[in-house]
Amino acid sequence: MAAVQRLLRAAASGGAATAAARRCMTSLASEHAPPPPAAAAAAGERLSRRPAAERNVQWVFLGSPGVGKGTYASRLSRLLGVPHIATGDLVRDELASTGPLAAQLAEIVNQGKLVSDEIIINLLSKRLKKGEEDQGESGFILDGFPRTVKQAEILDGVTDIDMVVNLKLREDVLIEKCLGRRICGQCGKNFNLACIDVKGENGLPAIYMAPLLPPNNCMSKLITRADDTEEVVKNRLQIYNDMSQPVEDFYRGQGKLLEFDLPGGIPESWPKLLHVLNLEDQEELKLAAA
Give 91-125 pLDDT, tens digit per residue.
888 998 887 788 888 888 887 777 888 888 888 88
Among 126, 127, 147, 177, which one carries the catalytic annotation? 147
| 182 labelled catalytic | no
Contact in structure between 182 and 191 (CB atoms under 8 Å): yes
Predicted local confidence at residue 129, as pLDDT? 81
pTM given for the model: 0.75
In tens, the pLDDT along 27-66 reads 333 333 444 445 445 545 555 555 544 556 899 999 998 8
Average pLDDT of the residues in 274-288:
77
Query: Is 225 a catalytic site residue?
Result: yes
Half-sphere exposure of 170 (CA within 13 A, CB side): 20
The domain limits of the chain are 2-28+36-169+256-261
**pLDDT of 277 over the 60 cut:** yes
pLDDT at 132: 73
Q: Tally Cβ neighbours within 10 Å of residue 61.
A: 25
More confident residue, 68 or 88: 68
For the segment 71-83, the average pLDDT, to the nearest whole number, is 93
Does the active-site annotation cover 236? Answer: yes
User: Residue 273 — very low, low, confident or very high, per pLDDT cuts 50/70/90?
Assistant: very high
Residue 155's φ and ψ, nearest 5 degrees, are -60, -40
Burial class of residue 284 (count of CB atoms within 10 Å of its CB; 0-12, 13-18, 19+): exposed
- Please report the pLDDT score of residue 50 as a whole number: 53
The span from the CA of 24 to the CA of 20, in Å, is: 6
Mean pLDDT score across all residues of the chain: 80
Decide: 119 and 12 in contact? Cβ < 8 Å.
no
Rounded Cα distance between 272 and 68, Å, is 15
Tell me the fold of 2-28+36-169+256-261: Rossmann fold (3.40.50)
Please give the Cα distance from 90 to 117 (Å, whole number): 13
Query: Which pLDDT belongs to residue 21?
Result: 36
Q: Which of 170, 181, 182, 256 is labelled catalytic?
A: 181
Q: Is 129 a catalytic residue?
A: no
Q: Among 95-109, 128-142, 276-290, name the one with the lowest average pLDDT.
A: 276-290
Active-site pick, 55, 69, 127, 256: 69
Q: Which band of pLDDT confidence, cut at 50, 70 and 90, is reported for residue 283?
A: low
Residue 50 designated active-site? no
